[in-house]
């Protein structure tokens, strides 16, 4: 078994920015010289592959194949540092140790796995195998919103759980439940991250209120950004625009992850 860390990126509600955050954090950590994997466990609505420029043609074996017992997890690994450096931001990852484990984006395969289900234990075995075989320092898990079984699994086995929320009362309610679950499952490191904060608010005030509410630390408050939305998940924003406020705040979050013992 490896001593690499599992970092789950989760949010109770959808569209908070999990996939953008997971992809950019993984890239920043890989840029820092670490060996990094990213698994998309959002089987029902995969998204993170877009940030790495993968489409149906480029995609080879997927997590679905592994979960159906059709291949080994190592065959799913897509080497980003070699095969996805076709955009300005991603180009900075050339030669870095970063692998993506994508889900199938074929409608038929998605409906099949939703219909038939799969063994979450196998998913867990997959995580452990990846950590070991690729000798990873960090394995990032992008999740489906809500608290379904594979999400509960990824929370249960994570060393670091990053819960993303928007400064919005609906997000808060769900985040409260997730925080309780994470504590009940003894997740060793619980980190909150606020995304899509409207810039006119006082970010320090938001941070403080949320920390007080959940008694957990907020690693960053990231602004709602037109530029980021305009990027439309086509490239790794924090690599392409390192001086942008969103990117700066995300580097703060990456530093927190790198500092976890």
Binding site for ligand ATP (CB under 6 A): 11, 14-20, 42, 45, 47, 145, 195-196, 222, 224-225, 228-229, 233, 246
List, in sequence order, the alpha helices (H) in the chain. 18-31, 48-51, 63-67, 80-83, 107-116, 120-133, 149-156, 169-184, 203-214, 226-231, 237-240, 245-259
78 vs 8: CA distance, rounded Å: 19
Establish if 178 lies at the interface with Mg ion (CB under 5 A).
no
- State the DSSP H helix or E strand holding residue 218, giving kind and residue range, or none if neither: strand 217-223
Bridge-based pairing of strands 217-223 and 138-142 is: unpaired
Give the footprint of other proteins on residues 198-217 (CB under 8 A). 200-202, 205-206, 209-210, 213
DSSP state of 164: E
- Nearest approach in angstroms of CB 78 to ligand ATP is 18
Establish if 19 lies at the interface with Mg ion (CB under 5 A).
yes
Q: Which of 148, 111, 118, 162 is nearest to 6 (CA)?
A: 162
Instruction: Give whichever of 97 and 195 is closer to ligand ATP, judged by the CB atom.
Output: 195
89 binds, among ligand ATP, Mg ion, other proteins, none (CB under 5 to 8 A by kind): none
From candidates 47, 53, 89, 220, binder to Mg ion by CB under 5 A: 47
φ, ψ at 173 (rounded to 5°): -60, -50
Give the footprint of other proteins on residues 178-197 (CB under 8 A). 180-181, 184-186, 188
Give the footprint of other proteins on residues 136-175 (CB under 8 A). 147, 149, 152-153, 156-157, 167, 169, 172-173
91 binds, among other proteins, Mg ion, ligand ATP, none (CB under 5 to 8 A by kind): none
246 binds, among other proteins, Mg ion, ligand ATP, none (CB under 5 to 8 A by kind): ligand ATP
Contact of 217 with 193, CB cutoff 8 Å: no
Q: What is the CA radius of gyration of the chain?
A: 17
44 vs 42: CA distance, rounded Å: 6
169 binds, among Mg ion, other proteins, ligand ATP, none (CB under 5 to 8 A by kind): other proteins
Instruction: Give whichever of 151 and 195 is closer to ligand ATP, judged by the CB atom.
Output: 195
- 203-214 and 169-184 helices, crossing angle to 10°: 40
Establish if 102 lies at the interface with Mg ion (CB under 5 A).
no
Q: Which residues bind Mg ion (CB under 5 A)?
A: 18-19, 47
């Amino acid at each position: 078994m490896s001593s690499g860390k599992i970092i789950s990126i989760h949010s109770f509600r959808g569209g908070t920015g999990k996939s953008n955050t997971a992809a950019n954090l993984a890239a920043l950590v890989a840029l820092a010289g670490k060996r990094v994997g990213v698994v998309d466990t959002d089987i029902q609505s995969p998204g993170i592959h877009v940030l790495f420029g993968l489409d149906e043609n480029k995609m080879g074996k997927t997590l679905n194949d592994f979960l159906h017992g059709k291949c080994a997890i190592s065959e799913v690994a897509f080497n980003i540092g070699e095969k996805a450096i076709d955009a300005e931001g991603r180009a900075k990852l050339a030669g870095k140790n970063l692998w993506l484990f994508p889900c199938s984006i074929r409608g038929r395969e998605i409906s099949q796995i939703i219909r038939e289900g799969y063994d979450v234990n196998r998913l867990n075995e997959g995580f452990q195998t990846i950590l070991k075989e690729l000798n990873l320092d960090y394995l990032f898990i992008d999740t489906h919103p809500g608290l379904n079984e594979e999400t509960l699994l990824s929370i249960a086995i994570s060393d670091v759980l990053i819960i993303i929320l928007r400064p919005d009362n609906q997000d808060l309610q769900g985040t409260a439940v997730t925080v309780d679950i994470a504590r009940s499952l003894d997740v060793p490191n619980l980190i909150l991250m606020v995304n899509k904060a409207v810039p006119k608010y006082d970010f320090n005030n938001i941070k403080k209120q949320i920390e007080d509410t959940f008694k957990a630390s907020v690693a960053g408050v990231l602004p709602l950004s037109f530029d980021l939305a305009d990027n439309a998940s086509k490239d790794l924003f924090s690599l392409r625009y390192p001086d942008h406020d969103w990117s700066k705040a995300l580097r703060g979050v990456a530093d927190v992850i790198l500092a976890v013992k």
